[in-house]
Chain A
């Protein structure tokens, strides 16, 4: 059952893409900011985890737990000190500033860690697998997929059930009126980016243990995240998971036919969705 295995691997890979995309989607939903450095921030977090693992000899999962608050603080500061200044009616400044940031992060990582491909070692977990009916699934891909579901459930709970989430939604709808109700939109934005960076850290953990990465790997992660968001439809985190799964399955099927076609097949699936369902498969937002 080769095909069943290919599709299962694709679905599990989709969990990783959903993790890439969740942070992008969260930030866009709240402040209409598309962070072109999103992929590079994922790689940055992966290097941070790698550094903690190799310097302190920590377990990668423990390293991610330590990295998450650091990334939260970095994201909070990045938004509060830099990106908030660029937000406005004009979409150009945030795009160009985050594009500049992407180049700064890539080359900073290149100076700090050289261009070598790295990998975070997860020990025996890397090769462990469980039989699922007629096929086997790796423990790490299953953990990735489960984490994606947990992250999406947690984000949805946060957004729809808590006071912070209410502030997020209010600021997203109308920052000025939300401000009249005592919500400081600049802090809400900083909090949202901080949260997105926590999700980025989780994504980085699974990216780093799954495959090799190097400082120039960021833009491709941004593109996968973006494709998952657009396939799923703006404004829906579950849609993003569906988008990630479609992208993942398209890539593994493409790779099964010809290894050179893996990435291309994902892009083609994205373009087909854009052709037939320009608003994505599960559109929710009206903007």
Chain B
């Protein structure tokens, strides 16, 4: 209890595994950035799919695993992002890259009234409430005749061809137009993944993140010690809407064709995402990464079986929730104690042994 003993304490979240991982991650990311020069277009398209699903999964994971907001309506922000990008590019002549950011802002704008309505609903009813508003979005955009109404429309060919940086890629690296387009959207997806994971990890390690975990574990107790639960939830909801909206816009820059049923699809943008997070590990940053890889492998293996494939996904999801509620990464992490994105605060430098484990998320 001496002053000197007290000052020698420090709070850290870093572990040896996470330091090693950070070094490996830098190498992997650098390698990923150079990928378009070495691998074929179809691989780049697969990687693009994995990266965009990862962004959606990380966002949903932040909502459900940390903020306790179980949304079944994330397709609202994917669809709004996609449609905002389409209208800005084909009706207002924006550059797609600028339109992606504007689409994120539009999704955030939509999230404000959405939050206003759905936050009034008690826990499980919140989930259906978000779904209803996503349906409203789908029906409303189906009325927009300038963008094809219910049947949808395509992006003008020259829009992506003339996107900022594409001509550079063609001139300097001798890429063909379609190849350059794929490479550019892939890099944007990679950047979006890094921004999303970076944002989430920083948030979780910050004071606000600790407050968020406290709210999730016990909202009343957290409010009693001064955490503004409603404000935290709203901020997280708006931030994930922005990222999901950007991701939706990016997906449709690559797809170049949009229709209300596809852009607001609950299966594509929410059910798959929930599956990825649940099977990978809810409430961890690593979980969605594991989940998205597994999801991609399963999809390639079983896509030919159509509805049997979806049926199997549903069953795997149910079994995971029942027998391993913290997912594959949770199982692995519990056995080995390894965390690649540690958020648990560890007290270092004190006289006490540090082998006592607390909760998994700080």
Q: Which residues does A use to contact B, with CB under 8 Å?
A: 28, 32-34, 36, 82, 85-86, 91-97, 99-104, 106-108, 110-111, 219, 222-223, 226-227, 230, 234, 260, 263-264, 267-268, 270-271, 274-275, 278, 287
B142: chain A residues within 8 A (beta carbon): 260
User: How many angstroms from the CA of A267 to the CA of B318 in the assembled complex?
Assistant: 30
Contact yes or no, B124 A267, CB < 8 A: no
What separation, in Å, do the CA atoms of A33 and B117 have in the docked complex?
21
B 298-318 to A, binary, CB cutoff 8 A, 1 in contact else 0: 000000000110110111011
CB distance from A191 to the nearest CB of B (A): 21
Chain A minimum-CB-distance residue to B313:
A103
Chain A residues positioned under 8 Å from B139 (CB to CB): 263-264, 267
* Residues of chain B with a CB closer than 8 A to A287's CB: 122
Query: Closest approach, in angstroms, between the C-beta of A160 and any C-beta of chain B?
Result: 24
Please give me the residue from chain B that is nearest to A263 by CB atom.
Answer: B139
Contact A86 B321 (CB under 8 A): yes
Quick one: which of A36, A101, A110 contacts B128, CB cutoff 8 A?
A36
Q: Closest CB-CB distance, A234 to chain B, in whole Å? A: 8
> B266 near A: Cβ within 8 Å?
yes
* Given known A-B contacts A86-B321, A101-B314, A263-B139, A95 and B124 have beta carbons under 8 A apart: yes
Assuming the contacts A34-B127, A230-B125, asked whether A100 and B321 have C-beta atoms less than 8 A apart, the reply is yes
Chain B contact patch, size range: 35 or more
Contact of B321 among A93, A102, A274 (CB under 8 A): A93
A92 contact set on B, CB distance < 8 A = 64, 68, 70, 282
Instruction: Tell which of B70, B136, B282 touches A91, judged by Cβ atoms closer than 8 Å.
Output: B70
The answer for the CA separation of A99 and B73 in the assembled complex, in Å, is 13
Q: A111-B307, A267-B132 are in contact. Are A100 and B317 (CB under 8 A)?
A: yes
A219 B124 Cβ-Cβ under 8 A: no
Does B124 lie within 8 Å of A96, measured CB to CB? no
Of the candidates A100, A101, A107, which one forms a contact with B308 in the assembled complex, judged by CB atoms under 8 Å apart?
Answer: A107
Given A100-B321, A101-B314, A226-B132; 7 other pairs, CB 8 A cutoff: A34-B127, A82-B322, A100-B317, A103-B317, A110-B307, A267-B135, A274-B129
Determine chain A's interface SS by DSSP, over half rule: helix
User: Are the C-beta atoms of B311 and A230 separated by less than 8 Å?
Assistant: no
A222 to B139, CA, bound (A): 17
B132 near A96 with CB under 8 A, answer no
Could you say which residues of chain A place their CB within 8 Å of the CB of B70?
91-92, 95-96
- Kindly report which residue of chain A lies nearest to residue B317, judged by CB atoms: A100
Does B29 touch A at the CB level, under 8 Å?
no
Is the beta-carbon distance between B124 and A33 smaller than 8 angstroms?
Answer: yes
- Contact assessment for A94 and B307 in the assembled complex, using a CB-CB cutoff below 8 Å: no
Q: List 8 A-B contacts (CB under 8 A).
A: A32-B124, A34-B125, A97-B318, A263-B135, A263-B139, A264-B136, A274-B117, A278-B120
From B68, B117, B317, contact of A271 by CB (8 A): B117
Question: What residue in chain B is nearest A227 (Cβ atoms)?
Answer: B132
Residues of A within 8 A of B72 (CB): 36, 99
B352 to chain A, nearest CB (A): 31
Complex CA gap A271/B140 in Å reads 14
Quick check: B314 and A104 within 8 Å, CB to CB? yes
Inside 8 A of A110's CB, which chain B residues have their CB? 307
Residues in A neighbouring B127, C-beta threshold 8 A? 34, 36, 95
User: What residues on A are CB-neighbors of B313 within 8 Å?
Assistant: 103
Q: Contacts of B64 on A, CB cut-off 8 Å?
A: 92
Q: How far is the CA of A28 from the CA of B310 in the complex (A)?
A: 27
User: Are A103 and B310 in contact, CB atoms less than 8 angstroms apart?
Assistant: yes
Measured between beta carbons, the chain A residues less than 8 angstroms from B125 are 34, 226, 230
Q: Smallest Cβ distance from B330 to chain A, in angstroms? A: 13
With a CB–CB cut-off of 8 A, which chain B residues contact A96? 70, 274, 278, 317, 321
Chain B residues whose C-beta falls within 8 Å of the C-beta of A264 in the assembled complex = 136, 139-140
Tell me, rounded to whole Å, the shortest Cβ–Cβ distance linking A264 to chain B.
4
Candidates B132, B266, B311, B315; contact of A270 at CB < 8 Å: B132
A275 nearest in chain B by CB position: B117
Which residues on the A side are within 8 Å of B128 (C-beta)? 34, 36, 222-223, 226
Task: Determine the distance from Cα of A264 to Cα of B136 in the docked complex, in whole angstroms.
Answer: 6
CA A104 to CA B212, docked complex, whole Å: 33
Residues of B within 8 A of A100 (CB): 314-315, 317-318, 321
B residues 325-345 with Cβ under 8 Å of A? 325
Q: Provided the pairs A34-B128, A100-B321 are in contact, do residues A260 and B143 lie with their beta carbons within 8 angstroms? A: yes
Residues of A within 8 A of B121 (CB): 230, 274
Query: Does chain A have a CB within 8 A of B93?
Result: no
With a 10 A CB-CB cut-off, give which of B72, B132, B271, B278 has the most chain A CB atoms.
B132
The answer for the CA separation of A275 and B128 in the assembled complex, in Å, is 16
Nearest CB of B to A46, in Å: 18
- Docked Cα-Cα span, A139 to B278, in Å, equals 47
Give the nearest-CB partner of A35 in chain B: B124
What string of 1s and 0s marks CB contacts (under 8 Å) between B67-80 and chain A?
Answer: 01010100000000
For A260, what are the chain B residues with a Cβ–Cβ distance below 8 Å?
142-143
Asked if A97 meets B322 with Cβ closer than 8 Å, knowing A223-B128, A263-B139, A267-B135, the reply is: yes
Find chain A residues with CB under 8 A from B143 CB: 260
Most B C-beta atoms less than 10 A away, residue of A86, A106, A107, A234? A107
| Residues in chain B near residue A95, CB distance under 8 A | 70, 124, 127
Q: State the CA gap A248–B10 with chains docked (Å).
A: 62
- Return chain B residues, CB-CB under 8 Å to A275: 117
B123 at the interface (CB under 8 A from A): yes
Q: Which residues of A contact B321 (CB under 8 A)?
A: 86, 93, 96-97, 100
Chain A residue at smallest Cβ distance from B318: A100
